[in-house]
Structure 1
Amino acid sequence: MVRAHAGEQSLAAAGLDRPGPDPSFDRFARLVNRHLGVSTALVTFVLRDTQLYPGALGLPEPLQTERRSTLPHAMCAEVVRTGGPLSFADLTTVPGRPARDLVDDLGIRAYAGFPVFDRDGSAVGTVCAMNDLPREWTDSDLDTLADLAEACSAEIRLRQERRRAQELQELALQAGHRTQLLLEMTDRFSRATTIVDLVVALRAFSAQAGAAWSGLGLLDATGSTVHLVNELDGVPFPERLRLDDPLPGPQALRTRTPLYFPDGRALLQDWPAMSRWAAPSTGALAFLPLVADDALRGLVVLAWPEAREVDADTRETCAALASCVATGLDRVYVLEDRHRVAATLQAAMLTELPTTADLELAATYATATGTDRVGGDWYDAVVRDDYTVLMIGDVTGHDMQAAARMGQLRSMLRTLAWSRDSSPAALLHQLDHANHGLALEASATVLVARLCRRSDPHVLTWASAGHPPPLVLRRDGAVDELEGRPDLLLGIDRATHRTDHTAHLDRGDTLVLHTDGLVESRGATYARRAAQLRTTLADLSHLPAARLPRALVERMVPGSQRDDVAVLAARVRR
């Protein structure tokens, strides 16, 4: 029966190992009946201890309906065992159990059967003709059975090939899905700039592994403790773990090997100390160490709502997820370090505003959140005998190099404003020449404003190198955007003509200068955001000058901030 067993596996792989009628094989049985005129015609599949009849005509009930029997030594099994045809004109004259089974159980006297072969050449069944009376089988009868058996074999092979093609397609789809998932995970985690971004991405992609809950634990600076940074949404779990704790999470960290448990029972069997947080009814759990560049970063915990075996596909997804989280953590840490360095450098270069008798000066500088986008914006003020020069600018770039260029450009403009009694346009012209002559070659938007205190109202003279226009918050709460076409940015063409513009500020009026980070936003036009700024400034007109810049930033840029922002306000004292 070895060959029958091999055929059984082949039939199972093709989905042909289940009892029941099959239209195609029933058609073969009808052809046998039509061409040979026998009382019973069958297409059989022979399994280890069962025969299936997907094609049958003339069987007694309940065999005709059930399409299966457990005759261990039936004649069809002999055909499969030998792999060759058998035919008998009268079974009562044939010795042996198979013949007696047909005569005694089915009333069959004549039998002729030909083997049916699968794709591998193994006999898996028969096409047979049986008659309730003795019958001499002619050569034509046997040729017809042979042809039908060959056609039946072709049908089986076709189904096996179709099933194999489906399996290959499913494997290809699974591989494609896994590849697509990996690409999506890599892209999503590579764009994470904060721990919060990582947690959000982790929750999104843990669902791809079927997990309902996920937790992220970060290794502290000492390398001895892991702190859970997000809750597992109702799954009890310790918020802090030491690496020497007798728990699965620390074990995964110590060995740098993932641990998987199909349910709470298996977890508690290996780790009884987890009984404080888990029960036998707890679903499957995974503890995934986070390792990047051979350095341990933390731990991901995944929890499923039900018990389940964590199969190879799920483990591959979990491994990819842990790798992406670890790499994302490294990137977040690098960005945080760069952000701290750049912010420190920026703060060191922004001096305190001077005190004047006629103006209330206030300013704020806000760095972008969660990235290294810092360093390009600045503000400054220089007080001369008869006037005050206000300056604000934004150097192209958002990194430490931009901060360094900003510091040099700001220092040059500060020196020029102190040492030369020049108009704002002339100061910008001189700054552009110095920028080129000293090979700094920084490109930047800059606005210089000069407020003369000898006049009442104050005379404002200003010039812009591509910078957002100044705003004036009037004493009565009205907001004016000062008109004047900005000139070309610094660092483009030092021969550019610079133009002065003038306006007047009464007592109680406030001049507001800002960088573009205050108004630029994804999903909104510049004009719309500029109108929103004017409305917001009017709403804040009741605030003292000292609080106005910070309040503007908080109202205009709530939540995550994509760009650094500088705001400078000067209110004419009443």
Structure 2
Amino acid sequence: MTGSLPPSTALPSRPDPAFERFARLVRRQLDVPVALVTLVSGEQQVFPGAVGLPEPWQSTRCTPLSHSFCQHVVRSAAPLVITDARTEPLVADNLAIPDLHVIAYAGVPLTDADGTVVGSLCAIDHRPRTWSDEDLAVLTDLAGACSSELQLGQAQQRVSEAGARAEQVSVQQDVDRARSALALAAGQVGTFDMDLATGALTVDDRLLELSGMDRATFTGRPEDVYARVHPDDVADVVARVEHAVDTGGTYAAEYRIVLGDGSCRWLTARGEVVGGTGNAARRLVGVVHDITAQRSPLQLAAQALESMAVGYLTMDVDWRITYVNDEAEHALGLPRDQLVGGIIWELFPGTVGTEFEAGYRRAADTGEPYTFDAHYPEPLNAWYEVRANPEHGGVALYFTDITTRVGVQQQSERAAAREQLLGRITEELVGTLDADEAAQRLSRLVVPAIADWCIVTLGDDDLAAGARRGLRSAASWHRDAAMRETTAAYAQARLGSLEDDAVLVRAMRTGQLQLIDAHATAQVEEMLAEGPAQELMGALAPEAVAVLPLPGRHGPVGILSLANGAARGSFTPEDLVTARHAAARSGLVLDNARLFRQQRGLAEGFQRSLLTPPPEPDHVQIVVRYVPAGQAAEVGGDWYDAFLQPSGATVLVIGDVVGHDVQAAAAMGQARTIVRALAARDHDGPAAVMTEVEQVMQTLQSGIMATAVVARLEQTDEEHAAGLARLRWSNAGHPPPMVVSPDGEVRVLDGGRPDLLLGVRPDAPRREAQVTLPWRSVVLLYTDGLVETRHEDIDHGLARLQRLLGELAGRDLDELCDEVLARMLPTNPGDDVALVAIQLHPQDRPRPPQAGPNRVPPNVPAD
């Protein structure tokens, strides 16, 4: 009949063991996370039986109807089956979806003694699910048994209230109720009832049929059933029955029955011991169900599991191994009978506290699969790829031995690391042209990458092939900071202690790797003369030593000595291959640095030979500087000059020939000579000098193009009396001079737009500008390499120089020039730089020492 919603006072509000059992049966039979026995009133629903209900509902055991799907079962008096509640209009707004995580729902009505629907027995899943006919049949059968339990409780309550008798429910009623509930729970099942006092077994016709027996042959003894059980299963079945009897608990087994035609039928049996204490009052009652249809796919699945090339292992909620396949036995190195039944942490203690344990527990705690790679130590000593998957309340492991794959991967990674190391060696060493700095960088790159400690020994630039003289220890390094001083001391002491057969000497002589693969300490000590070097070698205690020449174009330019301690042991073949490549690359870079030093020395010598020291006129201090470019070939274009005219005026010249090579240096020599020769005569001024220079260059067809500033420092008697001097200049496309006033103000002497550079158009007009300077003023002329680089344009460079001169105002002129170069130029300048600076010292007092000894040409007035 159609159910109504009874008042809440009629509902039991506390958990009931019988209803709890039904909830557990639903959860186990249908494999769902939540199963409920629900009773509904007009105000709320309660759960006298609940398994898997989240908090706080598990504690309170009740919810309002806003969380109830079961109210629809009661109102309709019919089952309610929902695949996905989020898309079902009937319950789409129900709060059970977000609060109780109800997605899939199957509920069957529960009726009381009057046939009224008062609740439901329901199964709940947290994800969409299509309920099978078998699912619904099992749920319906269990709901019928649960209704009987509900009706029996109501009858007992009525009997108690009437006071008819205090003990109404007999042991036989308890047996009947349990057997009925278990029978209905499985659906289409046979039942059994074994008297534990007599051993008599009572079975129904369905159980006889399932067991391949009939009434005529059944004697009422358990042995009749055992005789039909497959020989491989009978011992397990008997043991499970005896365990249930001994413990007074439950009985569960799956086994095969051998039929008359030799085929087998799979049965599942479930039972429990009921009744009072002592065998006289106790029975083992239960049900048996045919699971052949379900077992056949499971057998196929089991065969698939056994044939998989992947190890498969299952564990229950207590981390006890319940199944392993053949591949798992092979991978784990233990037979199945030693694995099944054991605790994973006890059988494999190497998992404890490692990524294995973390991965297993993560899968169990989150309910989500987790995949990882990890290495298990001895005795397995193997790498595994593991997928930990939550299954049936426990965790299943799918794993594969990937030791070979990891080995290949690690080998590839080591090869990549070696290439990276060699790339870094090339990059780091090419980044410096200083041999000692290169040696320091090399020592820190190879340690600890391929050795525990090392020493880099370099030769002089004129080192002869195979020679021992001219060698020096340039760098050393040890991976242990406490041993670095010892390593450095040995590096310095060993060169003077080497015997003729020492590995370093052999490496220099032969140009080949020298290797001591084991017990190196004693062998190396024999190659050293007695003294500090031997003692230091004993302290360093190498197990293996490799000495490699650093090859140059005409023989070794040095030696790379590598050593390993006892813990690291011998060099691997990969280490030696890497060491050879490292030595080859390092030798080439160091040889290039040697060639650079030689070329740079020649270039600087040539360049400086073209530049002369400045004069020292009275009370005028002149300072000149020249810095070559960082590259060996980048020489030549820039020049400075300072000299006196016969009238006593001081001429300053700064110039830059277009180009950066030796030819530019030669052209600079010509241009400087032309300017010097013409400007050394008294004439109208700097603009006139520029015009004459153009004419001479055209006449000589020099083809030279250059920027230049020619300036002349002049002074009349009136200016001398006033403490002033005058600077006249002409600018041919060159960066403008700068003046630092006595008060620290810095001015750029742009004089308007610069004229065209020299060598472009012989008839180009030339202009002059002039400025009056007080005593203590500083004038700075410079080439463009000071203010222009590939990373900074000339406008920014000029602004930076102007700010810097303001900061340096008041410094001694030599110090000012040195600071300007240090702060304005990068470590490895890309262009050469020349500058000339003058400072006007007061002329009303003795000549200052920094102005020099007053050396002037004989045809120039001394003051």
Per the TM alignment, residue 56 of structure 1 is displaced from its structure 2 partner at its CA by: 11
**Alignment RMSD, CA only?**
4.1
Q: Which residue of 1 aligns with 2:778?
A: 510
Matched, 1:216 2:494: no
1:460 aligns with 2:727: yes
Aligned ranges 1:409-558 → 2 under 5 Å: 409-419=671-681, 421-435=683-697, 437-454=699-716, 456=719, 457-484=724-751, 485-494=753-762, 496-520=764-788, 526-545=794-813, 548-554=816-822, 556-557=824-825
1:335 aligns with 2:596: yes
Q: SS at the partner of 1:447?
A: strand
**Residue 414 (structure 1) shift:** 0.8
- From the superposition, tell whether residues 441 and 28 of structure 1 become closer, same or farther in structure 2 (CA, over 3 Å): same
> In the alignment, which residue of structure 1 is the partner of 2:472?
227
| Cα shift at 1:250 | 2.2
C-alpha contact 2:654 2:710 (8 A) present in aligned 1: yes
Verify the 8 A CA contact 2:324 2:340 in the aligned structure 1.
no
Q: Which residue of 2 aligns with 1:253?
A: 508
Matches within 5 A, 1:75-86: none
- Number of the residue aligned with 1:404: 666
Matched-pair contact (CA < 8 Å) for 1:353–1:362: yes
Cα 1:255/1:63, change in 2 over 3 Å: farther
Question: 1:392 Cα deviation (Å)?
Answer: 0.7
Hey, what does 2:535 align to over in structure 1?
A: 276
Distance 1:281 1:444 in 2: 64
Change in CA separation of 1:475 and 1:56 when aligned onto 2, cut-off 3 Å: closer
- Provide TM-score, normalisation by structure 2: 0.45
Q: Distance in 2 between matches of 1:319 and 1:550?
A: 44
Secondary structure class of the residue paired with 1:277: helix
AA of the residue aligned to 1:378: W
User: 2:640 is paired with a residue of what secondary structure?
Assistant: strand
Q: Superposed, which structure 2 residues align to 1:248-327 within 5 Å?
A: 248-261=503-516, 265-269=519-523, 271-272=525-526, 273=528, 275-279=534-538, 281-282=541-542, 284-304=544-564, 306-327=567-588
Deviations 1:475-526 (A, max 9, x none): 2332222133333444455555443222222233222112233334676564
Secondary structure of 1:193's aligned partner? coil
**CA displacement at 1:444 relative to structure 2:** 3.1
CA-CA distance at 1:297 after TM superposition: 1.3
What residue is the counterpart of 1:21 in the other structure?
Answer: none
Aligned-residue sequence identity (percent) comes to 28
> What is the distance in 2 between the residues matched to 1:231 and 1:390?
50
1:472 and 1:511 in contact (8 A); partners too: yes
In structure 2, the gaps of 5 or more residues are: 1-300, 309-322, 345-398, 478-483, 843-863
Task: Sort the Cα spacing of 1:508 and 1:56 in 2 relative to 1 into closer, same or farther, 3 A.
Answer: closer
CA contact under 8 A between 1:466 and 1:486: conserved in structure 2?
Answer: yes
For the Cα contact (< 8 Å) 2:611–2:640, is it kept in 1? yes
What amino acid is aligned across from residue 679 of structure 2 in structure 1? Answer: A
Please report how far the alpha carbon of residue 443 of structure 1 lies from its aligned counterpart in structure 2 after TM superposition: 3.7
| C-alpha distance 224-61 of structure 1, shift in aligned 2 (>3 A) | closer
User: For structure 1, which segment, 505-514 or 217-226, has the greater mean C-alpha deviation from structure 2 after superposition?
Assistant: 217-226
Compared with structure 1, are the counterparts of its residues 184 and 42 closer, same or farther at alpha carbon in structure 2 (3 Å cutoff)?
A: closer
Distance, in Å, in 2 between the alignment partners of 1:407 and 1:452 is: 27
Q: Structure 2 CA distance, aligned partners of 1:53 and 1:458?
A: 97
Structure 1 residue matching 2:451: 3-state secondary structure: coil
Residues 470 and 512, structure 1, Cα contact 8 Å, conserved in 2: yes
438, 448, 452: which is aligned to 1:198?
A: 438
The 3 A distance-change label for structure 1 pair 519 and 437 is same
Cα distance in 1 for partners of 2:332, 2:568 equals 38
1:351 aligns with 2:595: no
Normalised to the residue count of structure 1, the TM-score between the two structures is 0.66
Question: Which structure has the bigger radius of gyration?
Answer: 2
Uncovered stretches (5+) of structure 1, i.e. residues with no partner: 1-23, 32-39, 46-50, 68-155
Q: Which moved more, 1:410-419 or 1:512-521?
A: 512-521
Instruction: Answer yes or no: is the 8 Å Cα contact 2:646–2:681 preserved in 1.
Output: no
User: What residue in structure 2 maps to residue 98 of structure 1?
Assistant: none
**Relative contact order: is structure 1 or structure 2 higher (C-alpha 8 Å, sep ≥ 6)?**
1
Shift of the 434–187 alpha-carbon distance from structure 1 to 2, 3 Å rule, reads: farther
The 1:283–1:496 alpha-carbon spacing in structure 2 relative to 1, beyond 3 Å, is: farther
Query: In the TM superposition, what is the alpha-carbon distance from 1:322 to its structure 2 partner?
Result: 0.9
Compute the displacement of 1:421 (Å): 2.3
Cα deviation, 1:271-297, whole Å, max 9, x if unaligned, reads 433642223744654322122224121
User: How big is each residue's C-alpha offset from its partner over 1:205-235, in whole Å with a ceiling of 9 and x where there is no partner?
Assistant: 3147333544321124463232002243332
Inter-partner Cα distance in structure 2 for 1:215 and 1:405: 47
Does the aligned pair in 2 maintain the 1:43–1:56 contact within 8 Å?
A: no
> C-alpha separation between the residues in 2 aligned to 1:529 and 1:444?
21
Equivalent in the alignment of 2:491: 238
Q: One-letter code of the match for 2:507?
A: A
User: Which residue identity is paired with 1:406?
Assistant: M
1:52 to 330, 351, 354: 330
CA contact (8 A) 1:342 1:403 kept: no
C-alpha separation in 2, matches of 1:516 and 1:349:
19
CA contact (8 A) 1:292 1:327 kept: yes
Mapped partners of 1:534, 1:295: distance in 2: 50
Say if 2:476 and 2:491, in contact at 8 Å, map to a contact too: no
1:146-157 counterparts in 2 under 5 A? none
Which AA in structure 1 matches 2:537? A
> Shift of residue 321 of structure 1?
1.1
Q: Tell me the alpha carbon deviations over residues 539-559 of structure 1, each in whole angstroms, 9 at most, x when there is no partner.
A: 444345465434543454486
Deviation at 1:405, TM superposition (A): 1.9
Aligned pair partner of 2:640 in 370, 375, 379: 379
Aligned residue pair count: 446
> What one-letter code is carried by the residue in structure 1 that aligns with 2:503?
P
Partner of 1:34: none
Partner of 2:626: 365
